[in-house]
Amino acid sequence: MTKATPDVISRAGELRDILTEHNYQYYVLDDPRIPDAEYDRLFRELQDLEAKYPEIVTPDSPTRRVGAQGETTFEEVAHRIPMLSLDNAFSEEELRDFDRRVKDRLKTTDDIEYVCEPKLDGLAVSLHYEAGILTRAATRGDGYTGEDITANIRTIPSVPLKLRGDSVPDLVEVRGEVYMPLKGFESLNKRLADRGEKTFVNPRNAAAGSLRQKKPSVTARRPLEMCAYSVALEDESQLPATHWDGLQQVRNWGFRINPEMRLATGVEACLKAYDELMEKRASLPYEIDGIVFKVNSLALQQQLGFVSRAPRWAIAHKFPAQEELTVIEDVEFQVGRTGAITPVARLKPVFVGGVTVSNATLHNMDEIRRLDARIGDTVFVRRAGDVIPQVVKVVTERRPDNARVVELPETCPVCQSDIVQIEGEAVARCSGGLFCPAQRKEAIRHYASRKALDIEGLGDKWIDILVERELVRTVADLYLLKKSDLTGLERMGEKSAENLIKAIDRSRHPVLWKFVYALGIREVGEATAKALASHFGTLEAISEADEEALQSVPDVGPIVAGHIRSFFDQPHNQETIQALRDAGVQWQSEEITAEEKPLKGETWVLTGSLSGMTRDEAKARLEALGAKVAGSVSGKTSCVVAGEAAGSKLAKAEKLGVPVMDEKAFTGFLAAHNTQS
Annotated catalytic residues are 119
Provide the angle, in degrees to the nearest 10, between the axes of the packed helices 437-448 and 460-468: 140
Q: CB–CB of 288/264 below 8 Å?
A: no
Separation between Cα atoms, residue 20 and residue 38, nearest integer Å = 14
Site for ligand JCF in 395-434 (CB under 6 A): none
- For position 177 contacting ligand JCF by CB under 6 A, the verdict is yes
> What are the φ/ψ torsions at residue 600 (nearest 5 degrees)?
-60, 130
Region of 5-13, 117-125, 206-214, 473-481 interacting with ligand JCF (CB under 6 A): 117-125
Site for ligand JCF in 288-317 (CB under 6 A): 292, 314
Q: CB–CB of 542/536 below 8 Å?
A: yes
Residue closer to ligand JCF by CB (options 246, 537) is 246
Separation between Cα atoms, residue 362 and residue 426, nearest integer Å = 12
Contact pick of 120, 151, 172, 455 for ligand JCF (by CB under 6 A):
120
Residue closer to ligand JCF by CB (options 20, 258) is 258
Which amino acid would we find at residue 161? L
Neighbours of 546 (CB within 10 A): 9
Element (H, E) at 179: strand 171-179
Sketch the per residue contact string, 39 through 78, with ligand JCF: x for CB under 6 A, - otherwise. Answer: ----------------------------------------
Residue closer to ligand JCF by CB (options 117, 377) is 117
Residue closer to ligand JCF by CB (options 282, 651) is 282
> What are the φ/ψ torsions at residue 176 (nearest 5 degrees)?
-170, -170
Residue closer to ligand JCF by CB (options 310, 365) is 310
Residue closer to ligand JCF by CB (options 102, 599) is 102
Region of 87-95, 116-124, 520-528, 641-649 interacting with ligand JCF (CB under 6 A): 116-124
Residue closer to ligand JCF by CB (options 230, 296) is 230
> What are the φ/ψ torsions at residue 467 (nearest 5 degrees)?
-75, -45
Provide the angle, in degrees to the nearest 10, between the axes of the packed helices 203-211 and 182-194: 70
Edge-first strand order for the sheet with 171-179 is: 133-139, 123-130, 171-179, 225-233
* Sign, CA torsion 402/406/412/418: negative
All residues at 6 or more sequence positions from 465 whose CB lies less than 8 Å from its CB, including other chains: 471, 489
Site for ligand JCF in 124-143 (CB under 6 A): 124
> What are the φ/ψ torsions at residue 116 (nearest 5 degrees)?
-110, 135
Site for ligand JCF in 204-243 (CB under 6 A): 229-230
Neighbours of 394 (CB within 10 A): 18
Separation between Cα atoms, residue 113 and residue 110, nearest integer Å = 9
Sketch the per residue contact string, 362 through 381, with ligand JCF: x for CB under 6 A, - otherwise. Answer: --------------------
Region of 28-36, 112-120, 196-204, 595-603 interacting with ligand JCF (CB under 6 A): 112-120
Contact pick of 49, 86, 138, 650 for ligand JCF (by CB under 6 A):
86
- For position 273 contacting ligand JCF by CB under 6 A, the verdict is no
* Sign, CA torsion 88/89/95/98: negative
How many chain residues are in contact with ligand JCF, going by CB under 6 A?
10
Element (H, E) at 317: strand 314-318
All residues at 6 or more sequence positions from 248 whose CB lies less than 8 Å from its CB, including other chains: 240, 257
Residue closer to ligand JCF by CB (options 229, 517) is 229
Shortest spacing between CB 120 and ligand JCF, in angstroms: 4
Shortest spacing between CB 314 and ligand JCF, in angstroms: 5
Shortest spacing between CB 285 and ligand JCF, in angstroms: 15
Separation between Cα atoms, residue 386 and residue 126, nearest integer Å = 33
Separation between Cα atoms, residue 225 and residue 31, nearest integer Å = 15
Region of 115-123, 318-326, 378-386, 609-617 interacting with ligand JCF (CB under 6 A): 115-123
- Kindly report the length of the chain: 677
Region of 113-121, 127-135, 373-381, 600-608 interacting with ligand JCF (CB under 6 A): 113-121
Residue closer to ligand JCF by CB (options 247, 532) is 247
Shortest spacing between CB 456 and ligand JCF, in angstroms: 57
Sketch the per residue contact string, 621 through 660, with ligand JCF: x for CB under 6 A, - otherwise. Answer: ----------------------------------------
DSSP 221-246: TS--EEEEEEEEESSGGGS-SBHHHH
Separation between Cα atoms, residue 545 and residue 564, nearest integer Å = 9
Exposed, middle or buried by CB within 10 Å (0-12, 13-18, 19+), for 76? exposed
Residue closer to ligand JCF by CB (options 230, 589) is 230
Chain-centroid distance, C-alpha 64? 35
All residues at 6 or more sequence positions from 351 whose CB lies less than 8 Å from its CB, including other chains: 320, 324, 357
Site for ligand JCF in 310-349 (CB under 6 A): 314
- For position 117 contacting ligand JCF by CB under 6 A, the verdict is yes
Shortest spacing between CB 123 and ligand JCF, in angstroms: 9
Residues of this chain that interact with ligand JCF (CB under 6 A) are: 86, 117, 119-120, 124, 177, 229-230, 292, 314
